Amino acid sequence: MARQVKRAFRYRFYPTDEQAAELSRTFGCARLVYNRALEERTRAWYSEQRRLSYVETSAMLTAWKRTEELAFLGEVSSVPLQQALRHLQTAFTNFFARRAAYPRFKSRKKSRASAEYTRSAFAWRDGLLTLAKMPEPLAIVWSRPLPESAAPSTVTVSRDAAGRWFVSLLCEDTITRLTPVETAVGVDAGVTSLVALSAGEKVANPRHERRDSGRLAKAQKDLARKAKGSKNGEKAKARIADRRRDFLHKLPTRLVHENQVVVIEDLNVAGMVRNHSLARAISDASWRELRTMLEYKADWYGRELVVIDRWFPSSKLCSECGTVAEKMPLNVREWECGCGARHDRDVNAARNIVAAGLAVTACGADVRPKRRKPSGQTATKQEPQPVTAGIPRL
């Protein structure tokens, strides 16, 4: 069975000097509009306890263009500026729904330089893309074909820290659902390895892979020699990021193709990176990005992604007898249960994760552990001994 999905296709392009100048102005104006609107919304909330809407900030933008100070905003396409306001509205919606932190101001140096164009601000004819305010189409390198009869609904242009230009075209695409299979896999995110799978396999982070270690070590060594903030340094970072992104795309694709059910933990990545001794390794592993890819790829191909509670004691639970160990420090990578079973910490966790996930899909079992409040009352998240009732053994 096939289904229609919105899918972004990203390509590199090489702008002319005039196009680069126009896009750079647009990036700057979009960032300024976003920051001005964020400032106004913050002021309205703290001084008047009032929430500004997108419509109100859009009216502000119109007024800004009429001032002498900000008249230059009228020199670029209005669509990317309106889109910046829409993105800010989404950020506030997520904040008030407790899905995200309070929106932050965009930095010229640290924030991604980008601009989003909707259909009214670009022309797409015979495979040629021409943006508003530009007399000629972009010189795009078509590294892969677009879907047949593709008609982009949104175009996002960006420039990375290394100075490379990219264009992302959002199109309708037809995805064929995969044939159902009987297999399921538990995925335990790790630090020493990127993930461990319930079948016993450990998937190393690209920086640990033996076949890439030489090239990656050289890239890191070259990066260390670059002057901080230099173009050469940024290019070295971009090469490492490209390798990581490519690897991250391949792993979820493989897991989704091989398994009907993929089970993961609901990790609190934002909280974990506050641990300064682990922050760099956790960020490098890109767990959040890995989960996002698993979510949309599973949805595309008709697979099921199950997310179990972050308090489930997957590492401390013996996958053979169900006993929960009292302590399991991070430096313990192998341990032996009282029943005689010897476990690799990560593989054992992955096996417990898939068992818990299958229990949820089979009967809706609640595998969330419970913990005690300081007052002695029972909270939702407790650690029962054992917590394996109703969980099938694999």
**Active-site residue identified among 265, 289, 304, 366:** 265
CB 343 within 8 A of CB 335: yes
User: Would you call 284 a catalytic residue per the annotation?
Assistant: no
Q: Active-site residue 40, yes or no?
A: no
* H or E element, residue 236: helix 231-258
Q: How far apart are CA 35 and CA 56, in angstroms?
A: 15
Candidates 22, 116, 160, 188; catalytic one: 188
Catalytically annotated residue among 75, 334, 346, 383: 346
In this structure, what are the phi and psi dihedrals at residue 217, rounded to the nearest 5 degrees? -65, -40
Q: Determine phi and psi for 81, rounding to 5 degrees.
A: -70, -40
Q: Which residues contact 290 (CB under 8 A, 6 or more apart)?
A: 189, 194, 195, 248, 251, 252
φ/ψ (deg, to 5) at 357: -65, -40
Gap between the Cα atoms of 69 and 73, Å rounded: 9
Structure tokens at 42: 């913050």
The answer to whether the CB of 306 falls within 8 A of the CB of 360 is: yes
- In the chain, DSSP assigns E strands to 2-13, 113-118, 122-125, 128-131, 140-141, 154-159, 165-176, 184-189, 195-197, 202-203, 261-265, 304-308, 334-336, 342-344, 370-372, 378-382
Distance CA 218, CA 221 (A): 5
Preceding amide of 386 cis, omega within 30: yes
Annotated active-site residue 265? The verdict is yes
Rounded Cα–Cα distance for residues 151 and 173 (Å)? 10
Rounded distance, CA 24 to CA 133, Å?
Answer: 13
Question: Alpha-carbon distance 347 to 353, whole Å?
Answer: 10
**Looking at the annotation, which residues are catalytic?**
188, 265, 346
